[in-house]
Amino acid sequence: MSESLQSGFIGHLIELRNRLMKALLSILLIFIALVYFANDIYAFVAAPLVNSLPENSTMIATDVTAPFFAPFKLTLFISLFAAIPFILHQVWSFIAPGLYQHEKRMLVPILVSSIVLFYSGIAFCYFVVMPIILGFFTSVGPEMMTLSPDISSYLSFILKLFFAFGVAFEIPVAIMLLCWSGATTTQSLREKRPYIVVGAFVIAMFLTPPDVLSQTLLALPMLLLFELGLVLAAFYTKKTTEQQEEEL
């Protein structure tokens, strides 16, 4: 019996290793396909800043290697973001055999929505938040100051915001999973709404650069997504309960 359990455990570890290798390979293949366009990708990501710069101002590189490594690093992160659907598919393929039928019906839409929400968060950051933030910051400095942002500093800034908004937009999925697993209920979360409002601004403070504008632009969508998560969680929890009763 113990040998059977051991062989089963080793089999799961081997499958997990294979899934991880496939996920890493997907990132590598996407990176190889995109690396030739690394400079174009960086130019696209830097467009909100470039469009906000005063006339005759440009971005600079304070490090000799920055013109090469900044686009290279950005392309690597873009490859990771682009591979997320395949990575989540590998995760799903690994855990799906151990799930009940009603759990599979519940988790498939959650898996799809988590991908859509993550990309929506990044798109919201790029098309809405970045022009507002950068337009504000590039217009409030002293007139005698020449603004010339460093390309490496801007890369760190934009990647931090992309990650923050991508993760923040997963709030509805997190709430649905918490309520579905029984860790909490929608009623309990509604009662804690004042604390959650404060918590959203605290989390935004840690996830965004140290300015009130970007923190507010992250906290407000988080609160709206929290309300959306409550609505979806109430619907899916009720639906899952009915499916379990039908199966019984």
pLDDT of residue 94: 77
Mean pLDDT by 10 residues, the chain (248 residues): 59 81 93 93 91 80 86 93 88 75 74 89 90 79 72 89 88 84 82 88 79 81 88 71 51
**Closest to 132 in 3D by CA, of 124, 122, 141:** 124
pLDDT of residue 101: 73
**Closest to 89 in 3D by CA, of 117, 68, 108:** 108
Residues 6 or more apart whose CB falls under 8 angstroms from that of 191 comprise none
Task: Count the residues in the chain.
Answer: 248
pTM as predicted: 0.82
The torsion of the CA quartet 76, 77, 80, 84, rounded to 10 degrees, works out to -160
Would you state the structure tokens that stand for residue 206, as one six-digit string?
Answer: 């840690």
DSSP 8-state assignment for residue 53: S
**Closest to 27 in 3D by CA, of 93, 69, 82, 92:** 82
Sign of the torsion formed by the C-alpha atoms of 154, 167, 210 and 52:
positive
